[in-house]
Amino acid sequence: MKCLFGSIVVAGSGSIGDVTYSRNRYGYYSKRKKPVPTSYTPYAQIIIDQRITLSRYWKTLTETQRYLWKVHAELLPRSYDFGQLRTMPAYNMFMSVNFNRWFCGQPITDTPISSVKP
């Protein structure tokens, strides 16, 4: 459950049990979650296999390489639901970058590509 606190709770979204709390243009609402179907299509299996491959590759990285991913993540913060910036963990940044590279047909990179913060 995500909450943004002021003097009282001023915004919130997320789930408690099987009830999801959210907000749309009409205001806040709650609804029961639908069961999530598990996809066993050939394409879904390819995606799952690639995520497993990347996860195993992360375990082979040296501490220096992991530190570089940590620095890269700090240079490129992401915004979340309420618009505040957050720093991704190094592992998540590695997975995000390399999954996108794989999707574009490029090889896995063990060190982040240097970038300039916009």
Q: Beta partners for 31?
A: 20
Beta strand 2-5 pairing with 9-16: antiparallel
Ordered DSSP codes for the chain: -EEEESSSEEEEEEEETTEEEEEETTEEEEEEPPPPPPP--HHHHHHHHHHHHHHHHHTT--HHHHHHHHHHHHHS-EE-TTS-EEPPPHHHHHHHHHHHHHHTTPPP-SSPPP----
- Residue spans of the domains in the chain: they are 2-32, 42-103
Q: Give the model's pLDDT for residue 51.
A: 92
Tens-digit pLDDT profile for residues 24-46: 887 777 788 777 777 788 888 89
Tens-digit pLDDT profile for residues 74-118: 998 888 777 788 899 999 999 999 999 998 999 999 989 865 454
pTM of the complete model beyond 0.75: no
d(CA 81, CA 25): 15
Q: Give the model's pLDDT for residue 10.
A: 57
Q: Give the model's pLDDT for residue 19.
A: 79
Report which of residues 24 and 8 the model is more confident about.
24
